[in-house]
Amino acid sequence: MDLILVILVDGLIYGAWLFIVSVGLTLVFGVLGILNLAHGSLYAIGAYSTATAVGIYFAYGGDAFPLGSYAVMALAALLVAVVIAPLLERGLLRHFYHRDEVIGVLVTYGVFLILEDAIKLIWGVDPLFVYEPYDLLGMVEAGPLFYVAYDFLVIAVSAVAGFAVWYFLNRTRRGKVMLAVIHDREMSQTMGVNVDKVFLLAFGAGVFLAAFGGALTAPMISVSPGIGVNVIIVAFAVIIIGGLGSIEGAALGAVMVGISRAASVHLMPELELFIIYFVMAVVLIFRPEGIFVRTQTRKI
């Protein structure tokens, strides 16, 4: 019984982290039709910006109100989105919306390489640490083990972020306009929708979510060059399982990968890496487009 509880808790913690780092990727694909390979770099920039901002916060009296560091983390991610999203979307990506999807992949791969070097130019190769927010909430007992309460904060934040994105898309007028653009770009344009604005908003949200994923992760790791590379691989697995462009799919995919990986580490550790891609393969056998995307017929 204890083992099941531990697997569930570990799986949910890992799954929540996976969701927050992959939901932006699926949102951008859903709206813009671009598979953004630079997503991992945006995650890394979010982590670096957070490390810098929180470091400054504590250097200038943040100790008096340490909980304020959580607001600083969110603001750092927001700043990344406000600065980078218009530059990338208006300056580069909009020129490729009508091209083949492969072109989008190549362009964002180029952006990924540029951003990886830009990170080294700005922050250097030495690691940054910002562990204060990680320790702030103490520990929580779950079954036979102790966990850092921050891990449960990540679960809560992921749930709120997922719900907010779902609510925005399905329950607000602007969200429905965005869905209309996803379904038929040309028709939306003829109905008077400012498609450029929708694209910028969606890409900005995607960049914010990537950077926010980095911000939430920064306190638990050493923020150093290359941290975004592994994230993009596992994020792809998650959104492929759930279905490219589906928010609900990303949530379900993240939880499936999180729990199956946790079960593997506890029961058969030698299968830890295999299990993620095994889950993906099984899903694709039965649902080639992912769990939440309906197979579409097309004319030949």
Partner 1 sequence: MKSTVKRLVSATAAAALSLGIAAGAQAASHSETFKIGVVTFLSGGAAESFGVPAWNGGKLLIDMLNKGELPAPYDQKGFGGLMIEAIEIDEAGGATKQVQEFRNLVQREKVDAVLGYVSSGDCLAVPPVAEELKAFLVLYDCGTPRVFEEGSYNYVFRTAAHAAMDNISLAKYMTSRGIKVGSFAGVNQDYAWGHDSWADFVASMGVLMPDAKATTSLFPKIFAGQYGTEISAVMREKPDLLHSSLWGGDLQAFMLQASARGIHKRMQIALAAGDHVIPQLGQKMPDGIILGARGMNGLAAHAKGGELVDLLWDRYKAEYGVFPVQAPFRMWQGLLGVKAAVEKAMKANGGKKPTAEQMAAAMKGLTWEAPSGTITMALGNGHQAIQPNAIGTTKWDEAAGEMTLVDVEYYDAECVNPPNGVKAVDWIKAGFPGAKCD
Provide DSSP, 120-143: HHHH-SS-B---HHHHTT-EEEET
Does 145 help bind partner 1 (rule: CB under 8 A)? yes
Binding segment for partner 1 (CB under 8 A), chosen from 98-106, 194-202, 248-256, 264-272, is: 264-272
224 binds partner 1 (CB under 8 A): yes
Comparing CB distances to partner 1, the nearer of 32 and 130 is: 130
**Closer of 135 and 196 to partner 1 (Cβ):** 135
Q: Which of 59, 60, 100, 144 binds partner 1 (CB under 8 A)?
A: 144
How many C-beta atoms lie closer than 10 Å to residue 52's C-beta? 17
* Distance, CA of 135 to CA of 131 (rounded, Å): 7
Residue 147 parent element (H or E): strand 145-148
Whichever of 47 and 85 has its CB closer to partner 1, that residue is 47
110 makes contact with partner 1 (CB under 8 A): no
Number of Cβ atoms within 10 Å of the Cβ of 173: 7
Q: How far apart are CA 185 and CA 202, in angstroms?
A: 14
Q: Which segment (49-57, 61-69, 147-155, 178-186) binds partner 1 by CB under 8 A?
A: 147-155
Q: Figure out which of the listed residues 53, 73, 151, 199 binds partner 1, where binding follows CB under 8 A.
A: 151
Binding mask 14-53 for partner 1 (x = CB under 8 A): x--x------------------------------------
Instruction: Tally the C-alpha atoms within 13 A of residue 171's C-alpha that lie toward its C-beta.
Output: 6
Task: Evaluate whether 245 touches 226 at the Cβ level (below 8 Å).
Answer: no
Tokens of 285: 């056998």
263 and 216 in contact (C-beta within 8 Å)? Answer: no
Burial of 265 (0-12, 13-18, 19+ CB in 10 A): middle
Q: Does 141 engage in binding with partner 1 (CB under 8 A)?
A: no
Instruction: Give the residue carrying structure tokens 């079960």.
Output: 263
Q: How far is the CB of 40 from partner 1 (least distance, A)?
A: 12
Q: Which is nearer to partner 1, 6 or 193 (CB)?
A: 6
229 binds partner 1 (CB under 8 A): yes
Residues that bind partner 1 (CB under 8 A): 2-3, 6, 9-11, 13-14, 17, 120, 125-127, 129, 131, 134-135, 139, 144-148, 150-151, 217, 220-222, 224-227, 229-230, 261-262, 265-266, 269-270, 272-273
